[in-house]
Amino acid sequence: MTDSLSRRTLLRNAGVGTGALILGGRAVWPDPALTRRKQIPRAQKGLFAEGVAAGEPTTRGATLWTRLGGYRKDRRLALEVARDPDFRRVVFRRDVKARARKGHTVKVRVADRALKPGEEYFYRFETREKTSDVGRFRTLRPADSREPVRVAFFSCQDWQAGYYGAHRTIAEIEDLDMVICLGDYIYERNFYDGPREDTLGANGDGEVQTLDEYRAKYRLYRSDADLRAMHASHSFAAIWDDHEVEDNHAGDQPGDATQDPRVPYRRRRHNGHRAFNEYMPFFDPDPAPDLRIYRSFRLGRTAEIFLLDQRQYRDDQPCGDELFVPCPEAESEPRDYLGDQQREWFKAGLERSGADWKLVGNQLMIQSLDAPPGNPINKDSWDGYGVERRDVLGHVEARGIQNLAFLTGDIHTFFAGEVGVDGRGPESVATEFVGGSITSLGIPETIQGTTGAPLTKEQTEAITTQINLTNPHLKYDEQESRGYGLVEATSDELRVEFRAVEARERSTEARTIGSFRVASGEPRVEVVDAMSGRVD
């Protein structure tokens, strides 16, 4: 199969009959008692404007997603899964329902013996006259597989801040096992000036608070062709950070950036979580108010991926969540970050994992970021919850857990470094790779927005130098580029690349700005090449 054939969007018009269901060459006729019941009408036309997505793969399936537009009431449509993009070899076919109460989003958990481990499959949704884009996913490798594992990770894609060309380049990567979003898939209000507009919300200012408004936000983001291409090309998993609900919120405590509160915070959080659940391809059809998003995936014997929730169960940030202020209680006062249940699940999972590499989808930096030494800049990260950080990383050290790497989002900067028990060092029990942002602006732009004057190259370099001097555990930082991270794990080593793609203008050219290696059994970052950033 050629690359162009497997990656391009294939639109086909086809009807699906209502007679026998063909599975594995065998006709399966409907139960007459079921056909006598009032059936949901089959959709005649409809729209698939938000594309398709596949998530949470297993060795024999995945959760497949789309949204049916153009209807106010419930409708049926058909799903097909095939071994080829032309659907000559269909292995799974089912009627599915687009429910009005779920905003006509559709999620189907496909788990069938007809699907084989480590194989590529194609899928599509159909009404009588319309067909969705064709999506592609790969089932997980067999449990005993020692094949290399390749994962892309990204975060922070504010709509107004730029374009999503980075997603087009991810879509074109061959042999990815999974793409992971580490949070801030949407932004609940406008934070940055940029080349695109977002006028959603009751006030037309981009701020969303009701369920219908959050749904509209996801539809806006999925209207981007490059983002849809990424989803159609690879299996996907996501965790939320704060902007899926409200900037810097913490458990039951709201954030502080809402301009015009129109909905009580807890109702707003429920709305944000429900919309996230509807638009992400993971299977939780009727979530409780505390939708659980922390979970793990085993990719053969080579890697296990742990995804965390660092928002829903945490206590409020210390010291009023103020940046650059001394805050002794951040290190000394017990404070929940993961919460008891998730923390014990995480510690136990790391200890019993037999995978060569334990990769952690981490919303916020676990390395400390100090200015001056011993004074953490950002209390909204693990730096605000030092007691719990020492508990988790002390467990890693005491139990001799090897080959632990955190893959991190949030801070709109590329960092690579080593993680001591206190987040610093000089000892190291893990490594961390922070993958920049898709569009959201970084430290230089934030300072420019505050001062009104752009930073010179010399000033940017001075900031980098100061960060490096006060944080020697950081082995690389690059603050100017937008992009994502790419990981390849083998039994012997972990390889990581940082890739930059211009976001303020339309571009689909990716360039590598840093590459790194971690040897098995040695939690130290080797900078293989650094086109920018610091090299020891």
> Going from the N-terminus, what domains does the chain have, and what CATH number goes with each?
3-138 (2.60.40.380), 149-530 (3.60.21.70)
What are the 10-residue block averages of pLDDT along the chain, 536 residues in total? 36 32 39 58 97 96 97 98 97 97 96 92 98 97 95 98 98 96 97 94 96 98 98 98 97 88 95 96 69 94 98 96 89 96 98 98 97 89 98 98 98 97 96 98 74 75 83 94 98 98 96 98 96 58
Sheet holding 511-519, edge to edge: 105-111, 61-67, 52-58, 235-238, 178-181, 149-154, 483-489, 493-500, 511-519, 526-530
Residue 527, Cα to own-chain centre: how many angstroms? 25
Residue 228, Cα to own-chain centre: how many angstroms? 14
Instruction: Compute the chain's Rg from CA coordinates.
Output: 23
Three-state DSSP class for residue 20:
coil
In this prediction, residue 8 carries a pLDDT of 34
In this prediction, residue 34 carries a pLDDT of 44
DSSP state of 397: H
In this prediction, residue 10 carries a pLDDT of 31
Phi, psi for 393 (deg, rounded to 5) = -75, -30
Q: Give the separation between CA 191 and CA 185, rounded to whole angstroms.
A: 14
CB 108 within 8 A of CB 123: no
Burial class (CB in 10 A: 0-12, 13-18, 19+), 21: middle
CB 48 within 8 A of CB 130: yes
Burial class (CB in 10 A: 0-12, 13-18, 19+), 253: middle
| Nearest partner of 68 among 43, 92, 93, judged by Cα | 43
Largest CA distance in the chain: 76
Q: Give the separation between CA 136 and CA 11, rounded to whole angstroms.
A: 14
Q: Give the separation between CA 214 and CA 30, rounded to whole angstroms.
A: 38
